[in-house]
A and B are shown apart, each in its own frame.
Chain A
Amino acid sequence: MTLEELAASLGFSSFPPLFAVALAVALVVGLIIFVPVLLRVIEIADYAYSNSRIQVMSSRIIREDKLKEMIEASSLAEVVAALETTEYSPYLREMMEERSESIERALNRHTADAYREVATMVPMNLKKILTVLIRKWDVYNIKLILRGVYAERSPDDIRADLVQVGELDPQKIGELAEARSLEEAISNLDGTPYSRLAESLQIFDQTRNLTVLEAKLDNILYEDAWKNATSQPVDENLLALKNYLATNIDVVNLKFVFRAKKDGLAAGSIENYIVKGGGLQESFIKSTLEVDTVDNVVASLEGTKYYQPVIGAVPEYESTGSILPIELALDGYLARFGKDISITQPFGIGPAIGYLSLKEMEVRNVRTLARGIEAGLSPDEIRNLIMKVGS
């Protein structure tokens, strides 16, 4: 059969019209297959630039061997010298004196800049959530001010420790440090996202425990971030960021529960400080507040993803009586969770989450070792305080 005969048998006058129809069908089928692929490719391409930048930024995170060397440092001057070869160098130049607080300020300023940098690279819907998280430095500053005012430190002393990197007006932060009482400091927060802190004053008056005010600040921060994350249409990347945020909220809540149990706070007075959202049900977290000891809180976590990391830290908790090992285990789990997202979602928000997660761990570790060296702790003691990526 010739091509012309084939065309005639299919009802075409000649072969070219048959070929044209076949080509058109092939084109339509091709488009049906190709368009979804192309849309996915465009999505990947959106992150190609930012993820590559973030990978380069990740390569500058202090490596474990360097951190080990820093732990062995005999003075803060040695720590500063080691940090001079890292990306913290420009931030250290403004240090007035070699104190752990000055190093901490430099670290915080750098980290906030890293958050801002990453926020400029991600799509708008994710940017909003990261911008809310930048407010954690406002929370950090407000906590410092509250502790300072409570301890009756002078405004100048308090101001010296503040880190001017959050979203609040630096002048406003400076004014807060002038407060003579906690009530005054909190009333000065009117007009800011933290004005809701006033709701906790009554419980603070009953307990005289700053944990409730600090928990309320975390509560405000993370609930705002969660509200932002849940008010947008979910896509793959937002879902990853939401999962990370949910784990972050769980870790904040669990640390609060452990601290509350250690300080012997009554469940009824503090259950309102549980951050809503997160992976664990609010009712579950509240039920852990009803438990009487830290050991029982650990037992109640069985069946959740937090049980394994926490149970590993229990022997150290039992030998030291401090909940720090448990907090380190939870933070380590969060860092691992962030790192895992960066591996499972390399073409989306994953590398950004992984980077921010490891950056926070790095800052925390450098801060810990600087404080430890300043306090004259031995390298072995400092090593016990260092946070590791959970397994």
Chain B
Amino acid sequence: MLDVSTGVALAAVGAGISMGAAAIGAGIGVGIAGAAGAGAIAEDPNKFGTALVFQALPQTQGIYGFLGAVLIMIGTGILGGFAGFESAANTMAGLAGTTPENAALIMGLAAVGGGLSVGLAGLSAIGQGITAAGSIGAVSKEPGAFGKCMVLTVMSETFAVFGLLITILILVGLKLLGA
């Protein structure tokens, strides 16, 4: 039987980094925005709507991380266990003209690269949470500033989207997805 354990382990690490790092970013970002939201609501419960919208923004990085992890698991076949991964490695070996062992290793490293991309990009949620917290305060003081504050807060999102995009491109480029 083909030894694919290293590749499987790396793919699992990639999926874990994708979700874990993004969750750290999203969690901290949402936490900061939530604290600001709680402050606004403590003074005026009608600010709940504003607080909720801004608090939701840093959550998207967590969703990207989750999506990245799922794509990695589907692409490398580890959802189907060792057999699934082995089958994907064999397919890749055929496409790349290499041994299945090497293909397994490449798949694992690709998963780590993809996971790092979306996971670390997910840390942008921390910055977004800080902007969201400032925006909750600004909009609480000046409701007319909602649109402008929303634009400022959404800016950090760009980098998270780029991170996810690179993960998808890695997986598609190596024919792990859409092949």
Contact = CB atoms under 8 A, between A and B. Distances in A.
B87 interface: no
B100 to A, nearest CB: 13
16 contacts: A3-B102, A15-B6, A37-B126, A45-B32, A48-B39, A49-B36, A51-B39, A51-B133, A52-B133, A53-B40, A53-B43, A56-B47, A56-B137, A59-B140, A59-B142, A347-B130
B176 interface: no
A108 to B, nearest CB: 21
A351 interface: yes
Nearest to A30: B120
Contacts, number: 78
Interface of chain B, helix or strand or loop or mixed? helix
A327 to B, nearest CB: 29
B39 A53 contact: yes
A260 to B, nearest CB: 40
Contact of A55 (B13, B28, B38, B40): B40
B52 interface: no
A53 B42 contact: yes
Contacts of A19: 10
A276 B125 CA distance: 46
B148 interface: no
Interface residues of B, number: 30
Interface in B34-54: 35-40, 42-44, 47
Nearest to B138: A55
Nearest to B43: A56
Nearest to A121: B39
A50 B37 CA distance: 10
A210 interface: no
Contacts of B13: 23
A41 B28 contact: yes
B140 A52 contact: yes
A123 interface: no
B75 to A, nearest CB: 19
A123 to B, nearest CB: 14
A44 interface: yes
A58 interface: yes
A379 interface: no
A2 interface: yes
A346 interface: yes
A57 interface: yes
Looking at A15, A58, A59, which has the most chain B CB atoms within 10 Å of its CB? A59
Interface of A: 2-3, 15-16, 19, 23, 37, 41, 44-45, 48-59, 346-347, 351
A19 B14 CA distance: 13
Interface of chain A, helix or strand or loop or mixed? helix
A52 B102 contact: no
Nearest to B6: A16
A55 B9 CA distance: 49
B130 A44 contact: yes
Given A45-B31, A56-B44, A347 B140 contact: no
A309 to B, nearest CB: 26
Given A48-B39, A55-B140, A58-B141, 10 more contacts: A16-B6, A52-B37, A53-B39, A54-B39, A56-B39, A56-B43, A57-B43, A59-B140, A346-B137, A347-B130
A134 to B, nearest CB: 20
B32 A44 contact: yes
Contacts of A45: 28, 31-32, 35
B136 interface: yes
B130 A52 contact: no
A36 to B, nearest CB: 13
**Interface pairs A-B: 4 shortest CB-CB:** A52-B39, A55-B137, A56-B43, A53-B39
B105 interface: yes
B139 to A, nearest CB: 9
Contacts of B140: 52, 55-56, 59
A19 B35 CA distance: 40
Contacts of B39: 48-54, 56
A52 B142 CA distance: 12
Given A45-B31, A49-B35, A3 B105 contact: yes
A41 B40 contact: no
A343 B48 CA distance: 24
Contacts of A41: 28, 32, 126, 130
Contacts of B105: 3, 15
A217 B13 CA distance: 67
Contacts of B102: 2-3
Interface in B72-111: 102, 105
A49 B38 contact: yes
Nearest to B126: A41
Contacts of B136: 52, 55
Contacts of B36: 48-49, 51-52
B44 to A, nearest CB: 5
Nearest to B139: A55
B134 A346 contact: yes
Interface in B17-34: 28, 31-33
